[in-house]
Amino acid sequence: MTSGSTEPVKNQLAPLDYADVKQYWNSAKPSPLIPYMMEGFGFSTSAGRFRFRLEPKVAERLTRNADCTGAVLDLGSGAGHWTEFFARRYSNVIAVEASHTLTRWLTVVPLTRTCVSSRTTYSLSARKARFLSSSLAAC
């Protein structure tokens, strides 16, 4: 498109390449930017740190009156930032993550069960989580 042209700009988003996403997570190293897939994409470390400072305050407000004896299901738990946050507040936390590399980091979070799954569809009922993936049966 040339300067002054009235042609519409077409959406040029490429289809998601799951092999690239898998490679990113499997080669991930500890970083405050990892949970947001910001590492290596030109985002500043300070942007990731800002989110880490702000989001717990928001989550605290949203969960302030929640039943602490209930269970929390952390889907796409990544390196466990939110898993740890929930484990400090709730009696039962289940972390579900597709990357084997990232689930190794989750072993340091106490009171947590970790499930490795590449399935991205889950059905949640009002009182209990039902998994639609046979790979989660061990949870």
Per-residue pLDDT at 17:
72
Per-residue pLDDT at 1:
46
pLDDT tens, the chain, 139 aa long: 444 555 554 555 566 677 777 776 677 666 555 555 555 666 677 777 777 788 888 888 888 888 888 788 888 777 777 787 888 888 788 878 777 777 776 655 555 565 665 544 444 443 343 333 333 334 4
Per-residue pLDDT at 50:
79
Per-residue pLDDT at 92:
80
* Domain coordinates in residue numbering, the chain: 18-136
Tally of helices (H runs) and strands (E runs) in the chain: 4, 5
Per-residue pLDDT at 127:
37
Tokens found for residue 42: 């030109």
Q: Which fold has domain 18-136?
A: Rossmann fold (3.40.50)
What lies within 8 Å, CB to CB, of 59 at 6+ separation is: 82, 85
Specify whether the CB–CB gap between 46 and 38 falls below 8 A: no
Closest by CA position to 51, among listed 65, 66, 38, 64? 38
Beta bridge partners of 129: 124
pTM as predicted? 0.53
